[in-house]
Structure 1
Amino acid sequence: MKKIFLLLLSSFSVFAQNNIIPAPVSYEVSTSSGMNMFMLDSRTSIDVTDDNPDAKRIAENFVNSLGFMAGQKPAFKKVATPTMQDKVMIFTINKNADAKLGNEGYTLEVDGTTIKCAANKPAGLFYAIQTLRQMMPPQAENKEFSMGMFPIMGCKITDYPRFGWRGLMLDVSRHFFTKDEVKSYIDLMARYKFNTLHWHLADDNGWRLEIKSLPKLTEIGAWRVPRVGGFGKREDPKEGEAATYGGFYTQEEVKEVIQYANERNVTIVPEIDVPGHSMAVLAAYPELSTKKDVKRYVNPGTEFADWFPNGTFKMKIENTLNPSDEKVYEFLDKVFTEVAALFPNKYIHMGGDECYHGYWEEDAGCQAFMKKNNLKDVHELQSYFVKRVEKIINKKGKTMIGWDEILEGGLAPNATVMSWRGMKGGIEAARQKHDVVMTPTTFAYLDYVQGDPTVEKPIYASLSLRKSYQFEPVPDSTDAKYILGGQGNLWTEQVQNYRHALYMTYPRAWAIAESVWSPKEKKNYTNFLERTENHFARFDAANLKVSKAVYDAIVTTKKDGDKIICEMACDIPNTEIYYSMDDSFPDKFATKYTTTFEVPKGDITLKVITLRNGQPLGRMLSIPRAELEKRAKK
C-alpha cells in the first residue's frame, strides 16, 4: 500500500496542479495553515447544508461515482469540527445568491480537512463536482482501480461561464448511435461543462425519432441497406435487397435520455432537418416531394450530388419537401406537435441548410405558387417555407432555430440563427437583432481531418486542435448580447462507431469548451496543451478513445524555384523530430530535424516521427515525394 501511495503522490505532483478544462475564472493555490492537501477516503463525510434535496442528489451522484473507494464510500453526516481524521465535504446552495456566479457558477475551496462546494443553483454545484473530479489524479477515472484514497490540492476557485449556450451536435442520421451511447456522450460533454446537446435526428440517411401519428417515418425512414466504405462511394440498393441498417429512438427512450441529460445539466435541442436533407422522409412519404416518385429509398451514402468549386451543388436525387403543397405543412404540424410534447426545452431546430432549389424551379406547381404569392425567386419561396414552419413551431410554445441559410429571402421574425458557413451569417443575424449560436466550419466542425492526411481518414477539409482553440464566438463590431454562445458539430458520414465518435470529438471539444466557458483573457494555447496532456491520461485511464494527433509532426513544404523545401514542427513542447528518406524507419538515431531542408529528387518517401526523452510520442508519418510536391503547390 505504501508503494502505491507514493506512486500516486508522484503522479499527483505531475498532474494535480491546475489542469482544469475549461480554465476557471479564478484559481488560487490555498495558503491556509496545516496540510495543503485533502485526502479523499472512506473517512470523509458528506454534509449537505439544510438537507437541500437538489444538493443531496448531486452529492449522492458524486459519491456513487467514486469507484476507487473499494466499497467504503463516504457517509452522509454533519461534522461540527473537521480534522484530518474526520474530514468533510460540504455542499451548499446559497441562501443569498452571489450575483457574479449566476445560475451555473460555483465556488470551491479545498484545504486539509474540508472541501466546500457552493452555488446559487444546483447546476453550479454540478459543475463544482466536475472541477473536483479533474483535480483528482487520472487513476480516479479507472473504475477498476481500487486505491481507497486520493489527494486533492488545496485551492480556492471561483468560476462561472462566459456563455449560456455551450453545445455539441451529434449526428445520429448518418450513423445510428444507441440510447446508451448517446447517454455516454452526454456524460462526457457534461464533464467539460457543455450544457446543450444538439441532437441531429433526421437527414437524408435516416429518420431516428418515433412519430406515432406517422409510423412510416420509422418503419421505412429509419432503415437503409447495409454498406461499408466512404460516403459518396457506396452503391445503390439492389433489387429486392433488405434495408437492415439503422434504428430509431422510441418516445419512451427519448424521455429516458432527456431525464438523464437533465440530471447532468444538459438541455437537448432536437433537429428535424427540412426542407432539404429529406430523403428519409420522402422514402416513407414520397407524395411530399414535387415528383412524387414512389420508387424511393433511404440513401445509404451514394454520390447523390455534384459539388462545384464555388460551393454550389446540384442534386441528382430529389431530397426536398414541396413548399407549394399544403400537405407538407400538415405533415410538419404532426411532427412538431409530437417533438414539442417530448422535448421540454425552449428550442426546436428545423435545419434549413443546403436546400437545393432546382426541382422547385422545374416544378409547375411551385412556379404557380410563387406567382400567386408574389415570391420573386426560389430563395423567397424557401423563406416562405421557413416562416410557415416557424409559425407551426411557435404555436407549440417553442422558439425556432435554424442553420444560417434561413436568412436567405428574409429571416423569420422570431428565429434564432446557427451560423455554420463562417461567421458571416451570425454577424448579419445579430445586426438584425436576432439571437445567434456560432458554430463555424473554420473552428467547430469536428468531422474534419485533425492530423496529417496520410494517417487520418481523408475528408474535404482539415481542422487542427490549434485552429479549434482560436474560436472566438463574438466577432469584432458585433453586439455580444445577441451571441448566445457556440458549439462543435460532429457529422458522422465517416464515423462508423462510438469510439471513433469520441476520437473525432476530443480533444477539439476541449478547445471549444474553453472558448465558450472561460474568460477570453484566460485563453493560452501553450497552457491548454499542458492541461490537454493530463486529460489524455484521464481518457486512457477510463479506456476512452481520444485523438492524440497533436503529438504528430506538422509537415509543410514550399517551392524555391525547382526545389521543394520542407519544414517540420510539433505543437507539443519538449518534443524532438527525427526523419529519414532512405526507406528506413526513424528513431532517436535517425536524422534530427533542426532546420528546413531540400527534399531530394527521386522516388523517395519522407518518414517522420516525434519523440520525447527518446521515446516515440506521435505516429510515424510516411509521405511520398509526390505528396510533398502537392503540398508545395497549395
Structure 2
Amino acid sequence: MRRRSARKHPSRPLLRRSRLIRLLGALLLAAAATGAGGGTAEAAAPAVPADDTDPRARVVPVPATVTPGGTPYTLTRRTAIRVPGTAQARGVGDYLAGVLRPSTGYPLPVTAAAGEDGIRLRLATTGREVEDLGAEGYRLEADADAVTITARQPAGLFHGVQTLRQLLPAAVERRTAQSGPWRVPGGTITDVPRFAYRGAMLDVSRHFFTVPQVKRYIDQLALYKINKLHLHLSDDQGWRIAIDSWPRLATYGGSTQVGGGRGGFYSKDDYREIVRYAQSRYLTVVPEIDMPGHTNAALASYARLNCDGVAPPLYTGTNVGFSSLCVPKDVTYDFVDDVVRELAALTPGPYLHIGGDEAHSTSPQDYAAFMDRVQPVVAKYGKTVIGWHQLTGARPAEGAVAQYWGLKGDEREVVAAAKAGTKMILSPGNRAYLDMKYTKDTPLGLDWAGYVEVRQSYDWNPGAYLKGAPASAVLGVEAPLWSETVSTSDHIEYLAFPRVAGIAELGWSPAATHDWDAYRVRLAAQGPRWDALGIDFYRSPQVLWE
C-alpha cells in the first residue's frame, strides 16, 4: 500500500508555482485547440454549453437519466424551502438553506407549509413515483414555478440537494452575497447509485488531522455523493483514537507523526463528533485499526504486546512491513477484544476495518491464525469485517469484505475469493489512490504505483476490473488518501481534487454513462465551484478548466 519513502513536504509557494505552471500549460493547450490544425486530442474537448440548459453539462456524478427542457426556475427573495415530513427531512432543508443564504442574500425560510412554489423536498415511501429510487435515489423536477426533489429516504433528498447545488451557478458556494441570477435549468432528473459503497479514506495516522479538518473534508466529499468515510486510525507512526482500557495507545502512541511532529489523537467525544457530523452529511464512518502489521505505535505503547516483552521506540519514518503483533500471545487477543469492543460501541455504522496489509513480519501461518481469531471478535460486537485484500490469502469470514489495492486485478486469491462470494471494495493503487503523484513534476505524493493523472484515475470500469470475477462481487469503490507527504488541508485538497470526483462518479453513475470526453467537460465546470469553496485543486492540463 505504501511502499516508498515520503518526500519532503513542499511549501505553499511551491504548490502555487506548480499550479501556475499547470494553468499556463492549460491555457496554451486551449489556445492550440482553437488554432488551425494545432492542439492535441486532450485539448479538443468542447466547451461547457453557455446557456446551461442541460444538467448533463455540469453535474458530477452524471445523473442516471436526464430529460432537459422547459422554463428554468429562478430563486428570488420570495423563495421558500418547503419540507413537510420528518425531522431528518427538515434537517436536509436547513442544510440547503445554510448553503444558499450567504451567497444569494435571500431569507429562504424553511417551512412545513405545503405549496406549489419554491424549493420542495418531498418524502414518499410508497407509490410508483418512488418505487425505483431505493434508499439513496431521488427525482428532481424543475420548472418555472418550483424545484421539487422527491425521495424515499432522507439520504435521497440530501443527494438531490447536491445536484441542485451544481445546477446553480458556482458563485452560490461563496460565503458572501453575490449578484446572481440564480437559475435552475428546467427538466427532470431521475438518479440512483450504481454501487452501495462509495468511499473515501483519510489516513490520520501518518499525519494527524483535527476534527475541523476532517469535517471540512466530509463537506467536500458530500458534494459528490460519497457515502463512506474510512478513517485509518492506527499505524506505525501514530495511534489516533482513545481506548479507555489501554490509555497509553493514544497518549503515548499518538504523541508523534511522520517527521517527528507532535501528533495528536481523538478523544471519544471527538470521534463521536466526527461520526455525528458525517451522519448529518449522510456519510457512514468506517474506522480502521490496522493489524497485525502497521502496529509499531501500539507495540511502543505496551511492552507486553511484543513477543520479547521489549517495547520498540516510537517511529516517525515511512517504511512499512517491519512491525507485528505477537500472534501466539493471549494478551494480543485481550488487546484486540478491548479495542474492537470500545470502537464498535462508538461507531453506529455496520463496518469495522481490521487492516491486514503488508504484514511482512508475520509468517503466513501466523497471519491466517491471527485472522481466524480476530474476525469473530468483530462479529461478536455486531460489525462486519473489512480487510485489505491480503485477507483473501487467509480465510475470510462469511460476510467479510476485502478491499483491493493492487494494480492489475488478476491476483489469484482475490479473484477466487470474489467468485466464492467475498464482496470487494475496489481501490486499485494506480487508479484510486489519491496520494499518487499526478506527474513527476507535481510536488506532493508518492509514485510506487506510477503517476496517476486525472484521466487514468477516471477511465476504468469497476464492474469489470477483477479479471474473471463476477460484477456482482463488487460492493463499491473507495479513494484512499495516505498521508506520508500530506500534513495540511491544502495538501489533502490538492491530491484529492479533481480525482476524488471521478471515483465518486464511477461509484454513482451507470456504467453506460462512462465517457472521458463528456466527463472532462463536466469536470471543467467544477473548477469555479472549487474556487468558490476555497478548494486548492490540481489544474490538470488534461482538462480545459473554465
TM class by shorter chain equals 0.7 to 0.9
Q: Aligned to 1:415, which of 380, 400, 411?
A: 400
Describe the SS at the equivalent of 2:503: helix
* Post-superposition CA distance 1:233-287 (Å, at most 9, x none): xxxxxxxxxx761001111111111111111110010000000000100110122
Given that residues 506 and 547 in structure 1 are in contact (C-alpha distance below 8 angstroms), is that contact kept between their aligned partners in structure 2? yes
Residue in structure 2 matched with residue 507 of structure 1 by the alignment: 498
Given that residues 38 and 110 in structure 1 are in contact (C-alpha distance below 8 angstroms), is that contact kept between their aligned partners in structure 2? yes
Given that residues 238 and 257 in structure 2 are in contact (C-alpha distance below 8 angstroms), is that contact kept between their aligned partners in structure 1? no
Q: Aligned to 2:98, which of 64, 67, 87?
A: 64
Residue in structure 2 matched with residue 233 of structure 1 by the alignment: none
Q: Which has the larger radius of gyration?
A: 1
> How far 1:15 moved relative to its partner?
5.4
Task: Letter of the 2:262 partner, please give it.
Answer: Y
Q: Aligned to 2:436, which of 436, 448, 451?
A: 448
Given that residues 45 and 77 in structure 1 are in contact (C-alpha distance below 8 angstroms), is that contact kept between their aligned partners in structure 2? no
Q: Provide the C-alpha distance between the structure 2 equivalents of 1:455 and 1:491, rounded to a whole number of angstroms.
A: 15
Residue in structure 2 matched with residue 321 of structure 1 by the alignment: 325
Describe the SS at the equivalent of 2:451: coil
Residue in structure 1 matched with residue 521 of structure 2 by the alignment: 530
Residue in structure 1 matched with residue 193 of structure 2 by the alignment: 161
Aligned-residue identity in percent: 33
Q: Aligned to 1:30, which of 61, 65, 69?
A: 69
> How far 1:211 moved relative to its partner?
0.4
Residue in structure 1 matched with residue 335 of structure 2 by the alignment: 331
Task: Letter of the 1:37 partner, please give it.
Answer: P
Residue in structure 2 matched with residue 297 of structure 1 by the alignment: 313
| Aligned residue runs from structure 1 range 164-179, under 5 A | 164-179=196-211
Would you say how many aligned residue pairs link Structure 1 and Structure 2? 488
Q: Work out whether 1:52 is the aligned partner of 2:86.
A: yes
Q: Work out whether 1:398 is the aligned partner of 2:383.
A: yes
Q: Provide the C-alpha distance between the structure 2 equivalents of 1:267 and 1:331, rounded to a whole number of angstroms.
A: 25
> How far 1:391 moved relative to its partner?
1.2
Q: Aligned to 2:305, which of 284, 288, 293?
A: 288
Q: Provide the C-alpha distance between the structure 2 equivalents of 1:75 and 1:343, rounded to a whole number of angstroms.
A: 31
Q: Provide the C-alpha distance between the structure 1 equivalents of 2:446 and 2:90, rounded to a whole number of angstroms.
A: 48
Describe the SS at the equivalent of 2:183: strand
Larger displacement relative to structure 2 (475-484 or 166-175): 475-484
Q: Provide the C-alpha distance between the structure 1 equivalents of 2:279 and 2:266, rounded to a whole number of angstroms.
A: 18
Residue in structure 2 matched with residue 258 of structure 1 by the alignment: 275
Q: Provide the C-alpha distance between the structure 2 equivalents of 1:280 and 1:321, rounded to a whole number of angstroms.
A: 11
Distance change (3 Å), C-alpha of 1:474 and 1:266:
same
Residue in structure 2 matched with residue 21 of structure 1 by the alignment: 60
Residue in structure 2 matched with residue 73 of structure 1 by the alignment: 108
Q: Work out whether 1:103 is the aligned partner of 2:135.
A: yes
> How far 1:300 moved relative to its partner?
1.0
Task: Letter of the 2:126 partner, please give it.
Answer: N
Distance change (3 Å), C-alpha of 1:429 and 1:499:
same
Task: Letter of the 2:523 partner, please give it.
Answer: T
| Aligned residue runs from structure 1 range 67-216, under 5 A | 67-70=102-105, 72-74=107-109, 76=111, 78=113, 80=115, 82=116, 87-96=117-126, 98-147=130-179, 149-216=181-248
Q: Provide the C-alpha distance between the structure 2 equivalents of 1:446 and 1:166, rounded to a whole number of angstroms.
A: 15
| Aligned residue runs from structure 1 range 346-385, under 5 A | 346-357=350-361, 378-385=363-370
- Structure 1: state its 5+ residue gaps: 1-10, 228-242, 306-314, 361-377, 552-570, 574-611, 618-634
* Post-superposition CA distance 1:450-482 (Å, at most 9, x none): 134366556332111111112322225422332
Given that residues 352 and 403 in structure 1 are in contact (C-alpha distance below 8 angstroms), is that contact kept between their aligned partners in structure 2? yes
Given that residues 22 and 192 in structure 1 are in contact (C-alpha distance below 8 angstroms), is that contact kept between their aligned partners in structure 2? yes
Q: Provide the C-alpha distance between the structure 1 equivalents of 2:498 and 2:78, rounded to a whole number of angstroms.
A: 35
Larger displacement relative to structure 2 (497-506 or 59-68): 59-68
Residue in structure 1 matched with residue 459 of structure 2 by the alignment: 470
Higher strand share: 1
Task: Letter of the 1:157 partner, please give it.
Answer: I
Distance change (3 Å), C-alpha of 1:482 and 1:459:
closer
Describe the SS at the equivalent of 1:488: strand
Given that residues 139 and 145 in structure 1 are in contact (C-alpha distance below 8 angstroms), is that contact kept between their aligned partners in structure 2? no
Given that residues 351 and 383 in structure 2 are in contact (C-alpha distance below 8 angstroms), is that contact kept between their aligned partners in structure 1? yes
Q: Provide the C-alpha distance between the structure 2 equivalents of 1:507 and 1:220, rounded to a whole number of angstroms.
A: 36
Distance change (3 Å), C-alpha of 1:531 and 1:334:
same
* Post-superposition CA distance 1:335-379 (Å, at most 9, x none): 01101100011111000000023xx5xxxxxxxxxxxxxxxxx31
Given that residues 143 and 186 in structure 2 are in contact (C-alpha distance below 8 angstroms), is that contact kept between their aligned partners in structure 1? yes
TM-score, L = length of structure 2 = 0.85
Task: Letter of the 2:74 partner, please give it.
Answer: M
Given that residues 70 and 147 in structure 1 are in contact (C-alpha distance below 8 angstroms), is that contact kept between their aligned partners in structure 2? no
Given that residues 426 and 438 in structure 1 are in contact (C-alpha distance below 8 angstroms), is that contact kept between their aligned partners in structure 2? no
Q: Provide the C-alpha distance between the structure 1 equivalents of 2:507 and 2:254, rounded to a whole number of angstroms.
A: 34
* Post-superposition CA distance 1:402-458 (Å, at most 9, x none): 001112243334421111123235423211211111111121111001134366556
> How far 1:545 moved relative to its partner?
0.8
Distance change (3 Å), C-alpha of 1:140 and 1:481:
same
Given that residues 474 and 483 in structure 1 are in contact (C-alpha distance below 8 angstroms), is that contact kept between their aligned partners in structure 2? yes
* Post-superposition CA distance 1:64-92 (Å, at most 9, x none): 22111325334526465x5xxxx422111
Q: Provide the C-alpha distance between the structure 1 equivalents of 2:442 and 2:189, rounded to a whole number of angstroms.
A: 43
Distance change (3 Å), C-alpha of 1:244 and 1:496:
closer
Distance change (3 Å), C-alpha of 1:75 and 1:286:
closer
Distance change (3 Å), C-alpha of 1:99 and 1:477:
farther
Task: Letter of the 1:288 partner, please give it.
Answer: L
TM-score, L = length of structure 1 = 0.73
Residue in structure 2 matched with residue 342 of structure 1 by the alignment: 346
